[in-house]
């Protein structure tokens, strides 16, 4: 059988697109882990809340998209701030497993709240990106996927640069390495914690809007966070570059296996890849070697 290169390219592009969204979600996860060493399993649910906020502002209140997006992002940041202040900070100093369990509970609470407020039925986000397909050469790319990819890569690039060259990035990395020493250098450690959660909340809400625009929204869309968890474990829990590379790898593997082997093998391929990578590099592709494992 002749191999259909054009089709392969299209699948690849779609995979890269969803990989970029995974990377953006993983970025939110990594930010929190890097600063606070908290494994936040509610990241998928924070993403979902962001998507629903956008849905409310755009469809419910009928606000224009250029206003609804920033409002949803602010809402996501606010959610991050509230979670950090009321749930995570009192848990400081408790064992990693306790905090981890608390975030699982937080995820369930968020799902419940969304179902109470917006109902359990899946809905569509109002279309704001247009549907005209894009063509790269002859290959077809969905417009939403392309926009998602562009946004995610710009945001991730901005973060990589900020962490390298901005003073605040140094503060965050210093806090991650040694909290006591960070205090002794005059770094306001609690503020770094809050900032990490707020920025992660914004990133998650942004990812939620993009994911919702591509696949619709429902209270169960937080499952997307599970794939993002695979991404961060593959890339390394504390590496932003790892989130990007891991996201693209997982996106591609999901797209290729889903198309060429069959949709039911998608998870098998992804988690098989996870096991393989962890066997070779237990800390992920770019993870810091002595970081804590679960």
CA 81 from chain centre, in angstroms, equals 17
Q: Does residue 271 contact residue 279 with C-beta atoms inside 8 Å?
A: no
In angstroms, rounded to a whole number, what is the distance separating the alpha carbons of residues 107 and 120?
A: 15
173 interacts with another protein by CB under 8 A: yes
Q: Minimum distance from CB of 33 to another protein (Å)?
A: 14
CB-based contact 89:173 (threshold 8 Å): no
Nearest residue to 197 (alpha-carbon basis) of 278, 84, 115, 118: 84
Interaction of residue 285 with another protein, rule CB under 8 A: no
**Is residue 154 within the footprint of another protein (CB under 8 A)?**
no
Q: Does residue 187 belong to the site contacting another protein (CB under 8 A)? A: yes
Q: Extract the tokens encoding 103.
A: 């975030």
256 binds another protein (CB under 8 A): no
Please answer whether residues 152 and 20 qualify as being in contact, where contact means their C-beta atoms are separated by less than 8 angstroms: yes
Confirm or reject binding of residue 188 to another protein (CB under 8 A). Answer: yes
Closest CA to 136 of 19, 17, 3, 255: 17
Q: For another protein, which stretch binds (CB under 8 A), given 47-55, 121-129, 185-193, 199-207?
A: 185-193
Q: Using CB under 8 A, count the residues that bind another protein.
A: 20
179 near another protein (CB under 8 A): yes
Judged by CB under 8 A, the stretch of 4-12, 18-26, 73-81, 166-174 that binds another protein is 166-174
* Comparison of 87 and 291: residue with beta carbon closer to another protein: 291
Residues that bind another protein (CB under 8 A): 93, 167, 170-171, 173-174, 177-189, 288
């Amino acid at each position: 059988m002749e191999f259909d290169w054009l089709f392969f390219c299209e699948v690849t592009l779609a995979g890269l697109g969803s990989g970029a969204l995974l990377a953006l979600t993983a970025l939110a996860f990594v930010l929190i882990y890097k600063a606070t060493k908290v494994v936040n399993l509610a990241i998928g649910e924070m993403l979902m809340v962001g998507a629903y906020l956008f849905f409310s502002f755009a469809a419910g209140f009928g606000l224009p998209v250029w206003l609804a997006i920033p409002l949803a992002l602010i809402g996501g940041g606010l959610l991050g701030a509230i979670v950090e202040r009321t749930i995570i900070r009192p848990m400081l100093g408790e064992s990693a497993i306790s905090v981890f369990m608390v975030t699982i509970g937080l995820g369930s609470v968020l799902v419940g709240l969304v179902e109470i407020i917006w109902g359990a039925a899946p809905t569509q986000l109002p279309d704001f990106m247009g549907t005209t397909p894009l063509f790269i050469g002859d290959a077809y790319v969905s417009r939403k996927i392309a926009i998602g990819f562009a946004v995610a890569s710009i945001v991730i690039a901005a973060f990589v640069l900020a962490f390298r060259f901005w003073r605040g990035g140094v503060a965050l990395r210093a806090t991650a390495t040694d909290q006591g020493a960070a205090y002794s250098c005059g770094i306001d450690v609690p503020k770094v914690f809050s900032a990490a959660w707020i920025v992660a909340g914004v990133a998650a809400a942004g990812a939620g809007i993009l994911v919702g625009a591509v696949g619709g929204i429902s209270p169960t869309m937080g499952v997307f966070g599970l794939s993002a968890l695979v991404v961060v474990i593959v890339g390394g829990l504390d590496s932003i570059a790892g989130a990007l590379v891991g996201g693209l790898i997982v996106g591609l593997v999901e797209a290729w296996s889903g198309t060429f082997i069959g949709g039911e093998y998608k998870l098998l391929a992804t988690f098989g890849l996870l096991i393989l990578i962890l066997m070779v590099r237990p800390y992920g592709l770019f993870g810091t070697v002595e970081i804590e494992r679960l």
